[in-house]
Structure 1
Amino acid sequence: MSAVPTDHGVAELGEFTFECGQSVPDFEVAYETHGEFDGDNVVLICHALTGSQNVARSPEPERDAGTAGAGQAGQARAWWDDVVGPGKAIDTTEYYVVCANVPGSCYGTTGPASERPADLDLREEPDHDRWGTAFPPVQVEDWARAQRRLLDHLGVGRLRAVVGGSVGGMNALEWAKRYPDDVDRVVAIATAGRLDAQCLALDAVARRAIRADDDWNGGNYYGDDRPDPTEGLAIARQIGHIMYLSKASMERKFGRRSAGRDSLTREDGDLGLPAEPTAGFFPYREVESYLDYQAEGFGDRFDANSYLYLTRAMDEYDLAAGHGADADALAAFEGEALLMSFTADWHFTVEQSGSLADAFRETGVPVAHHVVDSDHGHDAFLVEPEHVGPPVRDFLADGVDGRAVSDDGGDDGDDPRPDSDHAPVHASLFRG
């Protein structure tokens, strides 16, 4: 398959006023594009919480190693490369793919870690030049509005599709709500119209872990002479990973086994925290080693304040806000929708996707709810391209009539696994 054109950069969009009413004077959005624009072939992809605009590899390896991937690692770099690219499910020889880093993040779009204007009027002047917690509160609605501004900048009007997973799926749903005339098809994967109370509670604990780190310093930790709040961010990251995995997958991979010879030792791991007095008596378990591995270095590639801002945006999103019900919020959308969910995902459940499918049906929108039988948990949308790719590919081409797009047409909670194979363990579960 021949290479396709790609582009990346930072669009300077001038002043941007957030939903909260506060403004940023020199707003920038980092983005990548893959493929060639022909007027009606644009697919906007919305990344998840700590993802980036680097949705897939480029044909130029030196570019991936340079500015496009700067600071990105693990699931932030080429995070959907198994799904997006020449000849893949979202085929960049056919579609013009756009992916933008969302406001509040730290991969090039303006956020808390960005340089602030020198003349910004602050109640207390910090000893650094970053926005920090003076940055305006961010909402998912702001993500969609920033993407619309970017697309205008790129000369793109109507979209063939908006595709997103996890909180990126909320972002995609917001497009159907806010810009119903601008998009033909919406693909919302492993997502919901709002978080449930359990997820809200875990996110609150994760944010408190960051704020409890003495190095957070009220969000003013920037500058060469200040340490970052890496311990608090690492604990927040570990809480996130527990949310993303299922009970079955964790038991199968770790059980009650102690760490193996090739794993981190307790001295190397445990986030460098002081040892418990009894720690030497008890084993350092594989699940502990895994969590320490996932947290290791996360603070080097992600900003703690961004984590606070983005989790808060996810927590506060409610599709029905201002409308009373999800169906009312989606009433103006006249395209088609694909919902995908995974049987062991307790972060965003099959039932929550089923509820969204019912809301689309209530408005008369052709909709399919494709359920994948998988025990991976929430991470399945990233690590099971063999199950995610085919229905996405066929939906982009043929809508709900696509041959790999399933829909039982009724109560999505009765039989959550109508026609999917049980997915095997995937090695990339352990990507950082």
Structure 2
Amino acid sequence: MSFLQPLSMPDLTGTDIRVDIPDEFRLQSGQKLEQTDVVARLYGPADGRVVVAAGGISAGRILFAKEDSTDTAPGWWEGVAGPGEALDLNRFRVLSIEFAPRLPASQVYTITTHDQARLVKLILDHLEVAHVFAFIGASYGAMIGLAFAELYPDYIDRVCCISAAHRAHPMATAMRGLQRRLLKFGLDTGREQEGISLARQLAMTTYRSEAEFSERFDGPAPDWAGENYTVCGYLRARGDAYASNANRWISMSDSLDRHRVDPAKIKAKVFLAAVPTDRLVPYSDMQTLHETLRDSVFIDFPSLYGHDAFLKEIRLVSDIVRTSLND
């Protein structure tokens, strides 16, 4: 099934695409997804070169929302994607993907970045896309981009990989493992939302840098033990406001930690943007990936914001994306 409409002019609000998942489709784990279709959003002119875009695990398919559209929330990459922006929706045919499993997830799935790449390929095949010009990804989306380039080496020309490497670092796995325990504890005790809040609070300490926290939260102690320090109040507010589903988060978090690609199997040209303050994806891991790829460009991406730099440093990210798309 598809809701694809022929586009003669650039579509800046996007068109949703729904493609049935074949009944025989199984994850690498052998599990079958409960969802029966996979969803994405298509932007831009019908004759534009095809670019796939994917962000972190909280990103959805809404990449760019035109100001007068009916979308209730902005896209996850406003300022980077849009008409005349680095990911120019006047020039490129952009497919922005929705990760599986879909919310709400009634169970935990063992799903890999390669599984996500295979789901992206289902959509591209449905659209009869003969070749992908570029896969632009940040964080989890960049992991999927690398997995896609490994699975389909002759199908894609370029990968723009922001804050992701060929593997999950054990320290990142340690921190995410604690988050999963909090989520499971919340489920087991009937306090799912509290577990989600605590896991999100812990996650926020890994998304940002020590330097940013020092600049923003180096304030006085509260009057009494047990009261919130300034930084703790910030984390609690962020955690309590986070809307998610524990099963889906456990699935996605585990997927991050299962990520492994063989750089030797990637033929595409890869643009690697590494943030020195990133606590989840060490700068050294991205340097190692650069050294083992057959064709890559290493881009130093300085930022106070650590792993979240791809969401905060719009000008710098735009420069990186623009560089990766230039002929």
Please report the TM-score for the alignment, with normalisation by the length of structure 2.
Answer: 0.90
Shift of 1:384: 0.2
Matches of residues 365-384 of structure 1 in structure 2 within 5 Å? 365=295, 367-384=296-313
Shift of 1:157: 2.4
Q: Tell me if 1:54 matches 2:62.
A: yes
Matches of residues 196-275 of structure 1 in structure 2 within 5 Å? 196-213=169-186, 216-217=187-188, 229-257=192-220
Aligned equivalent of 2:4: none
Q: Secondary structure of 1:55's match?
A: coil
Shift of 1:382: 1.0
Q: How far does the alpha carbon of each residue in 1:2-42 deviate from its partner, in whole angstroms, 9 at most, with x for none?
A: 9736212433233221112233476211211111121x611
The two structures, once aligned, show a CA RMSD in angstroms of 2.1
Q: Tell me if 1:195 matches 2:168.
A: yes
State which of 215, 218, 236 in structure 2 corresponds to 1:292. 236
Unaligned runs of 5+ in 2: 1-9
State which of 226, 229, 247 in structure 2 corresponds to 1:305. 247
State which of 282, 291, 314 in structure 2 corresponds to 1:358. 291
In structure 2, how many angstroms separate the alpha carbons of the residues matched to 1:342 and 1:24?
Answer: 34
Contact 1:190–1:342 (CA under 8 A) maintained in structure 2: yes
Shift of 1:139: 1.0
State which of 22, 25, 37 in structure 2 corresponds to 1:14. 22
In structure 1, how many angstroms separate the alpha carbons of the residues matched to 2:241 and 2:191?
Answer: 12
Q: Which structure is larger by alpha-carbon Rg, 1 or 2?
A: 1
Change (3 A) 1:3 1:178: closer
In structure 2, how many angstroms separate the alpha carbons of the residues matched to 1:91 and 1:44?
Answer: 13
Change (3 A) 1:155 1:234: same
Q: Secondary structure of 1:187's match?
A: strand
Matches of residues 10-409 of structure 1 in structure 2 within 5 Å? 10-15=18-23, 16-24=25-33, 27-38=36-47, 41-58=49-66, 60-62=68-70, 64-65=71-72, 77-106=74-103, 113=104, 131-133=106-108, 136-213=109-186, 216-217=187-188, 229-257=192-220, 280-281=224-225, 284-298=228-242, 301-320=243-262, 326=263, 328-330=264-266, 333=267, 335-360=268-293, 363=294, 365=295, 367-398=296-327
Contact 1:43–1:163 (CA under 8 A) maintained in structure 2: yes
Give 1:93's aligned amino acid: N
Shift of 1:258: 5.3
Shift of 1:317: 1.0
| Greater length-normalized contact order (CA 8 Å, ≥ 6 residues apart) | 2
Q: How far does the alpha carbon of each residue in 1:295-331 deviate from its partner, in whole angstroms, 9 at most, with x for none?
A: 1231xx31110000000011011113xxxxx3x332x
In structure 2, how many angstroms separate the alpha carbons of the residues matched to 1:397 and 1:350?
Answer: 25
Give 1:27's aligned amino acid: T
Change (3 A) 1:36 1:205: same
Give the fraction of aligned pairs with identical amino acids, expressed as a percent: 24
Contact 1:44–1:98 (CA under 8 A) maintained in structure 2: yes
Change (3 A) 1:258 1:89: farther
Contact 2:169–2:282 (CA under 8 A) maintained in structure 1: no
Q: How far does the alpha carbon of each residue in 1:79-108 deviate from its partner, in whole angstroms, 9 at most, with x for none?
A: 1111000010100000011011111242xx
Q: How far does the alpha carbon of each residue in 1:119-175 deviate from its partner, in whole angstroms, 9 at most, with x for none?
A: xxxxxxxxxxxx424xx4211111000000011122222111001111211111111
Shift of 1:283: 5.1
Change (3 A) 1:132 1:26: closer
Q: Secondary structure of 1:149's match?
A: helix
Unaligned runs of 5+ in 1: 70-76, 107-112, 115-130, 219-226, 260-278, 321-325, 399-432
Q: Secondary structure of 1:378's match?
A: helix
Please report the TM-score for the alignment, with normalisation by the length of structure 1.
Answer: 0.69
Change (3 A) 1:105 1:239: farther
